[in-house]
A and B are shown apart, each in its own frame.
Chain A
Amino acid sequence: MNDRGNCRENPCPDEPGGGPWDEDPLEQELRQAAAVLDPVPDHLLQLAVDAYALHDLDARVAELTFDSLVDALPVRGATDTPRMLTFQAGELTVDVEVTGEGLTGQVLPPQPARIEVLGGPQPGTSLTADELGRFLTGTPPAGPFALRLHTGGEVVVTEWLRA
């Protein structure tokens, strides 16, 4: 057994296998109740299985480095401020604003790019960023989204996020 194993206690009890088996019978029954009454919905399980297609060793991941939801002070009196996101992969930056009309953004340093807007493992919709790296989608994302950018001979994908 490795350092994690099934051990639930801290420190770990000495007897082998000690852990879940020392569990309160009430907790076991509750676990059964959860599995029966509140299981993972089947379609979600399938989506997660299908998500393997998003595993792409060749793409660089642009990490979320700024999210106005977390990092910005609330603007007093403003109830409808757009969500602002910044993704970074090395020297490449992607700024995105989420509004009711869709995503607007810019690739920096400014450069043209082909951008795929992904909503899941299935193929996304394509658009292009102009010479200044600016882009605009017609509709706001309906759920989790990521942008796959083809620029300067490489592929960069922004971290998956809920808009």
Chain B
Amino acid sequence: MRAGTLPSAAYHDMPYPRGEVVDRADVGALVRSAVDGDAAAWKALVEGLSPLVWSVVRAHRLSDADGHEVYQTVWFRFAQHLGRIREPDKVGSWLASTARNECLKTLRSLSRLTVTDDPQLLDRVSEEGTPEQSLLDSEEAAAQSERIRRLWQEFEKLGDRCRQLLRVLIASPPPSYQEVSAALGIAVGSIGPLRQRCLRRLRARLDARGAT
């Protein structure tokens, strides 16, 4: 049950193929190279870990403007602390928890200052096309594309806890439980059971909609 478990061959050209951009075991080595001045190592870190940072931002449902600034802040601070990271192998967790803290600060300042004008994510999904979508534009992919869209819509309607947890779990490549724990401030031991429960819930929603 290895590569054969991928449900479709239509996604082999995905922007972030799972597990291939950065082997997480190499992260520590990339950090050390970047410290020594290797810009390519830095770029590999950015490409391999950006989806994780982004997933944390999205899990917290910030507005686009806030989310973009949090993402930048996290990477600026990481660059700044690069030579002082104590555990280079765990930068994924470092980035995830830094992103979480900045998200929480943002939510806190919003609740103090103004009413948030959080945009409806569902609207965006149905309207804006991403460059990647052009990959799906061929007729044979249209059905799959529609299926993915429906899946995403049901995902967005999940309760906050499930949506948050799954959004981080589905970053590419898949984060470790330590990283998920750092991203959401939940115990490593509770991730597995909650993950199963949330997937059951999502599946039930899809079944109810007749989409599976």
Interface residues, chain A, with chain B CB atoms under 8 Å away: 1-10, 17, 19-42, 44-45, 47-49, 51-57, 61, 67, 69-70, 74, 79, 83, 120-121, 143-144, 146, 157, 159-162
Check B86 for interface membership: any CB of A closer than 8 A.
Answer: no
Q: Which residues of B contact A37 (CB under 8 A)?
A: 125, 130, 148-149, 152
- B16 near A39 (CB under 8 angstroms)? yes
- Chain B interface main SS type: helix
With both beta carbons as reference points, the residue of chain A lying nearest to B206 in the complex is identified as A26
* Closest chain B residue to A12, Cβ basis: B177
Known: A1-B25, A52-B79. A10 touches B19 (CB 8 A): no
Q: Which B residues contact A (CB, under 8 angstroms)?
A: 1-2, 5-7, 11, 14-16, 18-19, 24-25, 28, 34-35, 39, 42-43, 46-47, 50-51, 53-55, 58, 68-73, 75-84, 89-90, 102, 105-106, 108-109, 112-113, 125, 130-133, 135-136, 148-149, 151-152, 155, 166-167, 169-174, 176-178, 188-189, 191-192, 195, 199, 202-203
**Nearest neighbor of B212 in chain A, beta-carbon distance:** A26
- Interchain pairs with CB closer than 8 A, number: 208
Do B149 and A4 touch across chains, with their CB atoms under 8 A apart? no
Q: Which B residues touch A120, using CB under 8 A?
A: 72, 76
- The one of A55, A70, A143 that contacts B79, using a Cβ cutoff of 8 Å: A55
Tell whether, in the assembled complex, residue A55 and residue B34 are in contact, meaning their CB atoms are under 8 Å apart.
Answer: yes
Contact B73 A161 (CB under 8 A): yes
A143 CA to B133 CA, complexed, in Å: 30
A36 touches B199 (CB 8 A): no
* A54 and B76 contact, CB distance less than 8 A: yes
The answer to whether B133 touches A36, judged by C-beta atoms less than 8 angstroms apart, is: yes
Which residues of chain B have C-beta atoms less than 8 A from A24's C-beta? 199
Determine whether the beta carbon of A51 is less than 8 Å from that of B79: yes
* With A35-B14, A39-B130, A120-B76: A6-B24 Cβ-Cβ less than 8 Å: yes
The interface residues of chain A lying within 8 Å CB-to-CB of B83 are 55, 57
